[in-house]
Amino acid sequence: MGKILRVDIGTGEISTEDTTKYVPEYIGGKGVATRIAWNELKPGTGPYDPQNMLMFMTGPFTGTLVPTSGRGSVCGISPRIHPTPWFTYGTMGGDWAAELKYAGFDAVIVKGNSAKLVYLWIHDGRADLRDANELAGLDTFVTQQHLKQRHGNRTQVVCIGPAGENRVLWSTIQHRLSNSIGDAGLGAVMGAKKLKALAINGTGSVGIAKPREFISICRKMAEMIKGGPTNYPHPTDLPYRSPVGPSNQQCSHGCPLGCGQLHRNVPAGLTVGSGTRNMMSHCEDYVFIHGESATNYPTEDIKDIYHGDMHTRETKAFGERIGTELQTVCEGLGLTSSFPINYYPWFWVCIENGVTEIEGVKLEPDEPRFWFEFMKKVAYREDSFGEIFAQDMLRAVEQLDLPPVVKKAANFQFPMWGQPSHRQGRSYESQPSPLWINTMLHWIIDSRDPIACHHQSSFVAGWFPLHNEGKGGTPDSNMEKLKAAYKKAFGTADGMEPGFENIDAKTKLALWQDNRAQVKDSLLICDWVFPAILHTFPSREEYLKADDYYGDIDAEAKMLTPLTGLDIDSSFLDRAGERIRNLDRALHIRNYRRSREIDSTGEWYYEYPEKSDGTKLDMQIFNAILDSYYTLRGWDKKTGHPTRAKLKELGLKDVAHELERIGILKP
C-alpha cells in the first residue's frame, strides 16, 4: 500500500497522503476517487473550476501478474455530461498505471488550474511540474515521443492533443496507440488545467504477500481467460474477436489477450499523427476502417412496428488505407475515435431533411476529406462550425437552427447523459430480452455510458442464438448450458428468462453486475473478461465439446487474497462495490440532486422496440422495474435516494449525516 500524490497545479504545491486512509473499504481506483470526491468536491463546482480534481487512479491489481491488470482510471467532473456536467469516470488500458505504481504512487490527484502549460514528471517517489511550452499544440503521438526522448524510452506518457488543449468536450486523454479516456470528456478538464501530460518512470515494485499462491492462481486465471474476451464464446474472424496472433496486440500491461488489431505503415505525409506510422484499433475505434451498423433515427415515429432499417445505418468503411489514416489523425488531435459511429448517421439525417450545409460547411459524410476537415475544425475550434461542434452534439444542436426531426435524431445518437448510443440495448448492438433490461438499468443508474457494467449483459448477446439479421449471436448457441453457468454462479438462472415476468430476478442480476462493475473499476481489471460468469474457449471445437461454460466469479477475490495477505472473499468485494455505488449515488444526490425523476429521463428510448425480438416497455413497466431495483438496493422508491439504514449498514454513517444535514434524508 502506497501513497497518493497530490498536486495543486495552480500553486505548485506537491504533497502525499497514505492510501490506507481509503482502503480496503474503497478498494482503489474509482472507489477511492469517489470517496475523495465526496470529501472534497463541493456542490456547485464546475468542470473547469480550479476546485475540480482530475484523479489518475490505479488499483491493488495494477502492475502485478493478475491477467488484464494494466488498466488505469481517470475521474473528475466532466463538462461533456449532458445536461448537467457532473462527476464521472473513465478507464483506459496501457502501461502508465503500472508505471505509476512502480514510481511509488497509487494515484495522482491534480487540482487547481495552471497559468501556463505544464507537464508533470513523476519518477521514483518524486514529482516535478515542468514547463510544457515546447509541447503546446503538438499531437498526442509527437508529445509521447518527445517526452520519451527526454526522459528515457521506458517512460510512460499520458497526454492531451490540440483538442484537449482547446477544451473540446469530446477530447481524449491519450496514451500509447488507441488507449484513451474518451467519452468521459476529461481531456477538456486536463486542457483547462493546462496540464499537457504526465510522464512517468519508476524502478519500484508491488509486493506480494504470498508469492507462490499468487503466481499459481494468476496462472490458473490466465488459462481460464485464454479463449479471449466474453463477447463471443470463441475466437472468430470478427475484427475484434480474432485469436491471439501476429496481427494483434493486448491493450494493457499484463494482459495475455490480443483484442487490439494492429495496422502497420499508415500512409506517410501526415501533418497530424506523424509521431507514429502505426495504429491499433479495438472496437468502435475501427469504424473509419471497417464501418459499422450504427444507430439510425426512425424517420417515421412509429413505436409499434418493427422495421429493421429503422434501427441501423451502415457507416462508410473507408478501408485499411484511408480508414487508418483518419483514425490516426483523430487520435493525434486527441479526439474520441468512436465518434463517426454517431456523427455519420446523424449527418445523413441532416442531408435527408434538407440540411446540406451547416455554418457554411457542406456535409459530405461519404468523403474522407470531409472528416479530415471536420476533425481539424473541431480540434482547433476553427470558424463557427468548429466552435459549435467542439461541444457535444446535444449542445451543438441547441445552438443550430435545424428542423425538429434532425434535433430529435441527435437524441437517438446520444440518448442519456450526452453519451453516445453504445450497447444500451437498442439500435445497432442488439440485445434480446432479458439482456437489455439489465443494460437499461446500468445506463439509467450510472453517470455516463456504463461500459464496465453493461458489457456484462450486452456481451452475452454474442452467446445467444443468431439474431439481429444474423449479425449477433452464435450459430452454435446452447442456451441450456448458458443458463447452467448462471445457475452455478447465482443458484438460479431466472434472471436469464426473457420478458417481464419475475422482474426481481432480473433486477437482482443487474444490481450484482453494477456492484461488480464498481469493484472492477476499483481493482482495475478488464471489463471484457471479468467478472467471469462465463469463460471462453480457444476454439469452436472446444466450445462445442464443453459441458460447462461457467468461469469463476470468485476469481477477483482469489487473486486479491494472496496478493494482499488479507482474507478477502467475494462477499467482501460485493459489499465494497455496493458501498462505492451508494457513495457515488449520495455524491450525485448532494451535488447534482440526482433523483428518480432524473433516472427516468432515459425511459423514452425503451419505448422503441428492441431490434431482434421486438420487445419494448412503457412507463408502467419501467416504473415496476425501477421499483424492484430501488427496493433491492435499499433506496427510497419515491426519491431514488439511499435510505439511512442502507448507508449505515455500508459503513457510510457520515454520509447519511451529511445528507440529513442538508435536508435530503429525514432525521
Partner 1 sequence: MPPADASFKVLKSGKIIHNPELCRGCRICELACSAYHDGACGAHLSRIHVIPDDLALEFPALVCHQCEYPSCYYACPKRDKSLCIDEETGARYINTDECMRCGNCARACPFTTSLIWVREEDDKKIYYKCDLCRGREGGPICVEVCPRDALTYVSRRKEK
Task: Pick the closest to residue 200 from 158, 159, 155, 140 (CA basis).
Answer: 155
Measured over the CA atoms of residue 264, residue 270, residue 272 and residue 276, the dihedral's sign is positive
The count of residues interacting with partner 1 (CB under 8 A) is 45
- What are the cell numbers at 362? 457542406
Q: Pick between residue 156 and residue 570 the one whose CB is nearest to partner 1.
A: 156
- What are the cell numbers at 286? 475501427
- What are the cell numbers at 480? 441450456
Here's the x/- map for partner 1, 188-217, by CB under 8 A: it reads as --------------xxxxxxx--x--xx--
Interacting span for partner 1 (CB under 8 A) from 5-13, 35-43, 273-281, 374-382 = 273-281
If one asks whether residue 539 binds partner 1 (CB under 8 A), the answer comes out as no
Q: Pick between residue 125 and residue 465 the one whose CB is nearest to partner 1.
A: 125
Could you please report the per-residue DSSP string of 287-302?
HHHH--EEE---SS--
Here's the x/- map for partner 1, 543-582, by CB under 8 A: it reads as ----------------------------------------
- What are the cell numbers at 294? 450504427
- What are the cell numbers at 281? 484499433
Q: Which residues, numbered 425-484, are part of the site for partner 1 (CB under 8 A)?
A: none
d(CA 6, CA 127): 10
If one asks whether residue 255 binds partner 1 (CB under 8 A), the answer comes out as yes
d(CA 379, CA 454): 30
Residue that is written with C-alpha cell 443458484 in the block: 491
Q: Pick between residue 275 and residue 345 the one whose CB is nearest to partner 1.
A: 275
Going across the sheet that includes 54-57, the strands are: 13-18, 3-8, 105-111, 54-57, 72-77, 87-92
Here's the x/- map for partner 1, 369-408, by CB under 8 A: it reads as ----------------------------------------
d(CA 645, CA 633): 11
If one asks whether residue 50 binds partner 1 (CB under 8 A), the answer comes out as no
If one asks whether residue 250 binds partner 1 (CB under 8 A), the answer comes out as yes
CB 521 within 8 A of CB 62: no
If one asks whether residue 264 binds partner 1 (CB under 8 A), the answer comes out as yes
Here's the x/- map for partner 1, 129-148, by CB under 8 A: it reads as ------------x--xx---
- What are the cell numbers at 176? 500509447
Q: Which of 244, 466, 546, 598 binds partner 1 (CB under 8 A)?
A: 244
| Beta-carbon contacts of residue 402 (< 8 Å; ≥ 6 apart) | 350, 355
If one asks whether residue 125 binds partner 1 (CB under 8 A), the answer comes out as no
Q: Pick between residue 60 and residue 450 the one whose CB is nearest to partner 1.
A: 60
Q: Pick between residue 258 and residue 531 the one whose CB is nearest to partner 1.
A: 258
Q: Which of 150, 220, 226, 657 binds partner 1 (CB under 8 A)?
A: 226
d(CA 263, CA 323): 10
Interacting span for partner 1 (CB under 8 A) from 22-30, 246-254, 437-445, 646-654 = 246-254
- What are the cell numbers at 523? 481493482
d(CA 619, CA 599): 12
If one asks whether residue 29 binds partner 1 (CB under 8 A), the answer comes out as no
Residues near partner 1 (CB under 8 A) are 63-65, 67, 95, 98, 102, 141, 144-145, 153-154, 176-177, 202-208, 211, 214-215, 219, 222, 226, 244, 246, 248-250, 252-258, 262, 264, 275-278
